[in-house]
Structure 1
Amino acid sequence: MRNIFISMLATVFITACSSNGNKFDASGTFEATEVIVSSELSGKILSLTVNEGDTVSASRVVGTVDAEGIELQKEQVEASISSLNDKTADVGPQVALLQNQLAVQQSQLNNLLHEKQRIENLIKQDAATGKQLDDINAQIDVVRKQMGVTQQQINVQRNNTSTQNKSILSESKPLQKRVEQLNDQLKRADIVNPINGTVLTKYAEAGELTSTGKALYKIADLGAMKLRAYVTGDQLSQIKLGQQVKVLVDDGKDKYKELVGTISWISDKAEFTPKTIQTKEERANLVYAVKINVKNDGYLKIGMYGEVVFK
């Protein structure tokens, strides 16, 4: 819509060129690539330091949107991560109790083994009976089984606690990712200028509320302008992409300033001649739009008229 609007601004003043002896092949108006800079967050604009007419470099931070709510969310998630360790269980006391029990059983086993050795010696001297040896062996088997059960209890206690703690600590990774997401949103609180250019229009001021995608200002690189002109079908054979052409712009009364331009785009579709655009041929039915890159020396403006002479 912007390009159409600019094109419709052109007038038939070009006829004055022929009366002064100047000849041209096509005419049109100058455009620039305009970028609408928007906020990436919703909130109150804390600062916006650009003004209309300012020249602003790319990647420069030109303002900030209030992100206190996001900062609080980040602190909450970080607190949740810190509290995970408090939720884990300490297996130490339970294991220590079972290990003490195991040590007592080991002491009992040692005593029984010593008593067994004594009875075996007495049997060799016919001072003890086989039944006494059988009884002591049975007691040894009971104590050994008790020790096996206690050791299993220690292993089960450790495994259960480890599994429980892993389940709790596994929540840390998703929470860390959430912190990274919030950090990314905090970065978006800064309003970063995307291109080198001049601020054309400012839509918002510090202190106002904004939302995601809402326009804050419009900027364009005026160092390289594009002249959008129209040629007839007969003229297509005279031009090609990359071709250098002569561009004429007004320079006072009955005078023209000459610039060098390069054809950067040729439309592949014909269109009806815009009513306010004059071409070389008088009111051709169908024309083709072309764009010509022209280096701006500071005098070219958006919407300014220009004529083209094909070399």
Structure 2
Amino acid sequence: MRRAVVLFVVLVGALGALLGFRILRDRRAAEGPSGGSGVVEGTAVDVRARINARVVARHVEEGARVDKGALLVTLDCTEQEAGLAETEARLAMARAQADAARAGALAAGRNSEAVAAQATGSQAQIASLADQQGLAQRQADRMEKLGTATTEAALDHARAQAASLEQQLTAARHSSTAAGRQARAAVEQERASQQQAESARRSVEAAEATLRRARISVSECELHAPMSGTVETLVLEPGELALPGAVVARLVDTRRPKATFYLPNAELASAWPGQEATVRADAYPDRTFPARVVTVAREAAFTPRNVQTRSDRDRLVYPVEVHIDAPDGLLLPGMPVEISLSDASTRAVAEQR
């Protein structure tokens, strides 16, 4: 009986000591800096296909470290290359047609100038013939008034010369009318040729745009790394079909690790963007990594239906993201870490600065 009492007393004492230790540890934790647990994350980028093509070759393997611009995957580009060749041929044909149209417009312009000059010459010829015909007619009239003072032959010659000049003047006027119509037709032809040349130029621009699009399609047959990082996954094997928008590879940049932890509502005032923090990882128990708070969420990650009671408010937690300053490759995605924020008194010093 006495032994049972002693064992009971020892058990009660041990439980009391354990409870006191836990209460002391919780009190110290509450009095210590705010923080929490998180998991290391990297900046992940998905490399997606933009065309419908089969995978021809993979040039890297999962887990490989690649630099920005490194070739990751090659897709079958037979159809795109054929389209590019066709587009180049159409562009060459459009340029030839544009050259011919420009030459036609130039010839039409010169023809219009020649016809206009001809019409101007016809007008000058009409004026000259009109002067000559008038002079001949007046000469014939004077000789007719002289009567017997002139010979009949001279009078007939003067009349014939005046009549001939009248006929020439009439013919010149008809020729001038025709030349004017030809000049107007030449102007219209020149305008039509210029419009054809402009249309041909636009066709060349459209063909050049189509060529640029075809070249972009061909360039999409080779998928390159958009940043330096580690190849986390390669989704497709050679021979599999890549659909537009489908993920082909995923890269993770481990040079800028980050982590997210959650602060309860009562400790939210102890965190602010730009605040310094300390990170500890289980893989490096004797080492700490400096970090800095990047964002403090404005909305709680968990919101009860109502927050009328104190216990409900204590259940509110807010995500806090920190960026960690660690050498590349030490903190890998998925590693659990403990994050401790700097003392709240440093906020006043930072605000004073």
Report deviation, 1:91.
Answer: 5.0
Partner Cα separation in structure 2 for residue 246 and residue 185 of structure 1: 52
Partner Cα separation in structure 2 for residue 48 and residue 178 of structure 1: 34
1:183 aligns with 2:212: yes
Instruction: Tell me what 2:234 maps to.
Output: 202
> Structure 2 vs 1, CA of residues 178 and 95 (structure 1 numbering), >3 Å: closer, same or farther?
closer
Relative contact order, higher structure (CA 8 A, sep 6+):
1
Instruction: Tell me what 1:71 maps to.
Output: 84
Aligned-pair identity in percent equals: 18
Partner Cα separation in structure 2 for residue 47 and residue 176 of structure 1: 36
Instruction: Tell me what 1:6 maps to.
Output: none
Partner Cα separation in structure 2 for residue 60 and residue 264 of structure 1: 30
> Structure 2 vs 1, CA of residues 91 and 236 (structure 1 numbering), >3 Å: closer, same or farther?
closer
Instruction: Tell me what 2:53 maps to.
Output: 43
Task: List gaps (5 residues or longer) in structure 1.
Answer: 1-14, 274-283
Partner Cα separation in structure 1 for residue 35 and residue 141 of structure 2: 131
Report deviation, 1:295.
Answer: 2.5
Instruction: Tell me what 1:128 maps to.
Output: 155
The size of the alignment, in residue pairs, is 281
Give per-residue Cα distances to partners, 1:222-253, cap 9 Å, x unaligned: 1011111111112112121111111110136x
Task: List gaps (5 residues or longer) in structure 2.
Answer: 1-21, 144-149, 304-313, 343-353
Give the counterpart letter for 1:259 in structure 2: F
SS at match of 1:241: coil
Give per-residue Cα distances to partners, 1:126-150, cap 9 Å, x unaligned: 4225754552343133122122123
Q: 5 Å matches for 1:129-148?
A: 131-132=159-160, 134-148=162-176
Q: 5 Å matches for 1:1-311?
A: 25-60=35-70, 62-65=72-75, 66=77, 67-78=80-91, 79-86=93-100, 91=108, 126=150, 127-128=154-155, 131-132=159-160, 134-171=162-199, 172-190=201-219, 191-251=223-283, 255-272=285-302, 285-297=315-327, 298-311=329-342
SS at match of 2:155: coil
- Choose between structure 1 and 2: higher helix proportion: 2
Give the counterpart letter for 2:97 in structure 1: S
Instruction: Tell me what 2:9 maps to.
Output: none
> Structure 2 vs 1, CA of residues 177 and 227 (structure 1 numbering), >3 Å: closer, same or farther?
same
Partner Cα separation in structure 1 for residue 203 and residue 58 of structure 2: 35
- Whether the aligned pair in 1 keeps the contact of 2:256 and 2:324 (CA below 8 Å) is yes
Report deviation, 1:114.
Answer: 7.3
Give the counterpart letter for 1:83 in structure 2: Q
Report deviation, 1:55.
Answer: 2.5
> Structure 2 vs 1, CA of residues 85 and 154 (structure 1 numbering), >3 Å: closer, same or farther?
farther
SS at match of 1:162: helix
> Structure 2 vs 1, CA of residues 290 and 161 (structure 1 numbering), >3 Å: closer, same or farther?
same
- Whether the aligned pair in 2 keeps the contact of 1:250 and 1:257 (CA below 8 Å) is no
> Structure 2 vs 1, CA of residues 285 and 256 (structure 1 numbering), >3 Å: closer, same or farther?
farther
Larger radius of gyration: 2
